[in-house]
């Protein structure tokens, strides 16, 4: 079982690389039981999606 520190480390790594099946499973399990990490993950997801959206806009302006 991951602790919060390990879960947070995986959450930030998740944005840069593909996690292994066991890493994703451990993270999902922890997030489903931990409100703090659940909120942190939601916030990271929002930032990540905002970045992707920004890159998408850049592609359009380059065309």
Binding site for Zn ion (CB under 5 A): 4, 7, 34, 37
Residue 30, C-beta contacts closer than 8 angstroms, at least 6 positions apart: 1, 2, 3, 4, 6, 7, 37
Nearest-approach distance from CB 37 to Zn ion, in angstroms: 3
Name the residue nearer to Zn ion (CB basis): 29 or 51: 29
Nearest-approach distance from CB 50 to Zn ion, in angstroms: 23
Name the residue nearer to Zn ion (CB basis): 1 or 54: 1
CA-based R_g, the chain, Å:
14
């Amino acid at each position: 079982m991951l602790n919060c520190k390990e879960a947070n480390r995986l959450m930030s790594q998740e944005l840069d690389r593909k996690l292994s099946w066991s890493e994703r499973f451990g993270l999902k399990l922890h997030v489903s039981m931990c409100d703090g990490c659940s909120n942190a993950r939601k916030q990271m997801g929002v930032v990540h999606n905002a970045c992707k959206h920004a890159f998408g806009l850049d592609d359009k302006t380059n065309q």
